[in-house]
Amino acid sequence: MQAFADLFNALDQTTSTNAKVAALTDYFQTAADPDKLWCIALFSGRRPKRAVTTTRLREWAAERAGIPLWLFEETYPIVGDLSETIALILPDATRQTNRTLSDWMEEILRLTPADEDTRKEAVLDAWDCLNTTERFLFNKLLTGGFRVGVSQKLMTRALSRATDTEEAQMAHRLMGNWTPETTTFHDLIHAQDTEADQSRPYPFYLAYGLEDAPEALGSPADWQAEWKWDGIRGQLILRGGTHFLWSRGEELITDRFPEFARSVDFLPDGTVLDGEVLAWHGDKPLPFSELQKRIGRKTVPKKLLKDAPVVLRAYDLLEDAGEDMRDKPLAERRARLEALLANIPPEAAVIPSPVVPFDDWQTLTDIRETSRDAHAEGLMLKRLGSPYLAGRKKGDWWKWKVDPLTIDAVMIYAQSGHGRRANLFTDFTFAVWNNGELVPFTKAYSGLTDAEFRKITAWVRKNTLQRFGPVRQVTPEHVFEIGFEGIMESPRHKSGVALRFPRMLRWRHDKPIQEANTLDDLKALMP
């Protein structure tokens, strides 16, 4: 575990991309194969499930540290991370161990089905032979919460350097439905037969937001525009007579969306489509909240299937007749996509996402303003000559969202954040006026600078009216401009509305609370 803890420290102690890649490369060149495999799994989000409940961990840690549970609970929000809190309060280790990352992972997997006494004994034993960083990592792995500030992209780059493999090819090999229990480092990285795994998706190509005016992109004739849908990105794979649906988070979600089972009847084998999964009714998408009901369900009740049926609005063709199309220009991929989907019936649940025609940038700018009427959140701009790249790359694909809806609201509750934002008040509840009262309608926790968060934190400490556990009710004094992408009716919320992607756009120092908006203003923004 020491080697992995050293790697973690090296990554944690630098903000330099080069230094991170160098530390990872070094690990991939020196660690044993089983440890490397687990490292890849953890850094690509393949975490084992939580083996022990956090309630038990808190109790055991407080007991071991000789402090009452309430003191642990008071310390936790200040440290801002449960695994770290435990690692910090425990007495120093009394023994050492040479167990490696993979040994500990096996231990954790062994504990998942074990009874509570066995778990407790094993956990206390582990704590007693690990140093602070190792303990922190062990706790993270035990609670299924391991995350580190390294993108899969950097990990892939380091791995491709360490093994002298091309980066895009490495990215592809790491995709799919493997876990350290189902493969070995050698099979995953060195086995050349990429056909072995029928279900393996291609890495998604991700767009950056367009910041400048579209004129900067050059001639409109070089670009294709599409609606940007508000659903979940999906890759539909038809191979070997069956189908697979992948989410952008590399999760296999085939079973959650049985609608696509019939796609094999209408599309040829060896087809891979990229598109957006949307809840769909008649000729238009349902609000995201409808789709959300489907996302969390592993099995879908009949009623839900009827109320919120889904479709894939396909906009790219990554594989055609078994041929990898990604190097071909978008124009050619688009033509073949349209030919493929030309006469497809509605039962297939696959619909081509239309191209939005335009002649000049001004026309497109005007069209973008109508996005909400088209049930889209804006436009996508894609260069007609572009290949399908892997990961988030600048230059050929841009998302061009409509400006958010906005409302001025009063901050009424504050809560401290986690991780990097521990000890700072960053999570706020906002309210609007209704008959002379402030009615809470949303939470938001992003959009301010670190300096602003520090300032508001100092203010919250001095202006707390009441504490409810970690939540503080504060004097209504500050107005913030809240931006959001959509608004829906919601009987579950006191205000009767729910927002999509709320965040703070500006701290309105210039506005007294009397000038904040009303609930009626807010409801007027509903479609």
Partner 1 sequence: MRADPVLTFTDRGIYCPAGDFYIDPWRPVDRALITHGHSDHSRWGHQHYMATEAAAPVMHHRLGDVSIQTTPYGAKTQIGAASVSFHPAGHIPGSAQIRIDVGGEVWVVSGDYKPEPDGLCESFELVPCHAFISECTFGLPAFKWAPQSVVAEEINAWWSANAAEGRFSLLGAYSLGKAQRLMSLLDPSIGPILTHGAVEATNEVLRAQGYPLPATTRVTGDLDVKAHAGGIVIAPPSAFGTPWAKKFGRAATGFASGWMRLRGVRRRRAADRGFVLSDHADWPGLNDTIRATGCEKVFVTHGYTEIFNQWLLSEGYDSAIVATEYTGEGADTEDIAEVD
Name the site residues for partner 1 (rule: CB under 8 A): 12-15, 65, 67-68, 70-72, 74-75, 78-81, 84-85, 88-89, 136, 418-424, 450, 454, 457-458, 461
CB 388 within 8 A of CB 172: no
Give me the sign of the Cα torsion angle 315, 320, 324, 330.
Answer: negative
Q: Which is nearer to partner 1, 14 or 25 (CB)?
A: 14
CA angle 208, 210, 212 (to 5 degrees): 145
Q: How far is the CB of 278 from partner 1 (least distance, A)?
A: 37
Provide the minimum distance between the beta carbon of 157 and partner 1 in the complex, in angstroms, as a whole number: 21
User: Which residues neighbour 186 within 8 Å (Cβ) at sequence distance 6 or greater?
Assistant: 33
What is the rounded CA–CA span in Å between residue 412 and residue 402? 29
CA dihedral 342, 348, 353, 357 (to 10 degrees): 30
Residue with tokens 């039962």: 347
3-state secondary structure of 281: strand
> Of 57 and 424, which has the nearer Cβ to partner 1?
424
Closest to partner 1 by CB, 344 vs 471, is 471
**Shortest distance (Å) from residue 368 CB to partner 1:** 37
Cα→Cα distances 103→43, 85, 183, Å: 17, 24, 16
Q: Closer to partner 1 at the Cβ: 133 or 199?
A: 133
Q: How far is the CB of 325 from partner 1 (least distance, A)?
A: 42
The one-letter amino acid at 518: T
Rounded Cα distance between 504 and 479, Å, is: 10
Nearer to partner 1, 68 or 395 (CB): 68
Min CB(8)–partner 1 separation in Å: 11
Least Å distance, CB 515 to partner 1, is 30
- DSSP helix/strand/coil, 413: strand
Q: Distance from CA of residue 488 to its chain's centroid?
A: 22
| CB nearer to partner 1: pick between 75 and 475 | 75
In DSSP terms, which residues pair with 233 in a beta bridge?
276
Q: Which is nearer to partner 1, 367 or 422 (CB)?
A: 422
| Helix axes 152-163 and 167-174, enclosed angle (nearest 10) | 120
Question: Which CB atom, from 331 or from 422, has the smaller least distance to partner 1?
Answer: 422
Shortest spacing between CB 88 and partner 1, in angstroms = 4
- Residue 70 or 468 with smaller CB distance to partner 1: 70
Inter-residue contact 344 to 337 (CB < 8 Å): no
Looking at the Cβ atoms of 148 and 252, the one nearer to partner 1 is: 148
Q: How far is the CB of 60 from partner 1 (least distance, A)?
A: 15
C-alpha closest to that of 471 among 410, 419, 425: 425
What burial class does residue 370 get, using C-beta atoms within 10 Å of its C-beta: 0-12 exposed, 13-18 middle, 19+ buried? exposed
């598109």: which residue's tokens? 275
β-sheet bridge partners, residue 208: 398
Residue closer to partner 1 (CB basis): 74 or 255: 74
φ/ψ of 452, rounded to 5, equals: -65, -40
Rounded to whole angstroms, how far apart are CA atoms 527 and 517?
18
Nearer Cβ to partner 1 (95/462): 462
Rg, Å, the chain Cα set: 26
Q: How far is CA 415 from the centre of its chain?
A: 22
- What is the C-alpha to C-alpha distance for residues 429 and 476, in angstroms, rounded to an integer? 11
Shortest CB 67 distance to partner 1, Å: 5
DSSP 8-state symbol, 290: H
Cβ-based nearer residue to partner 1, 10 or 206: 10
The pairing of beta strand 208-209 with beta strand 397-401:
parallel
Q: In the complex with partner 1, which residue's Cβ is closer, 392 or 455?
A: 455
The 8-class DSSP code of residue 298 comes to S
Instruction: Write the burial class of residue 397 (CB in 10 Å: 0-12 exposed, 13-18 middle, 19+ buried).
Output: buried
Q: How far is the CB of 391 from partner 1 (least distance, A)?
A: 24
Contact indicator for 479, 423 with CB cutoff of 8 Å: no
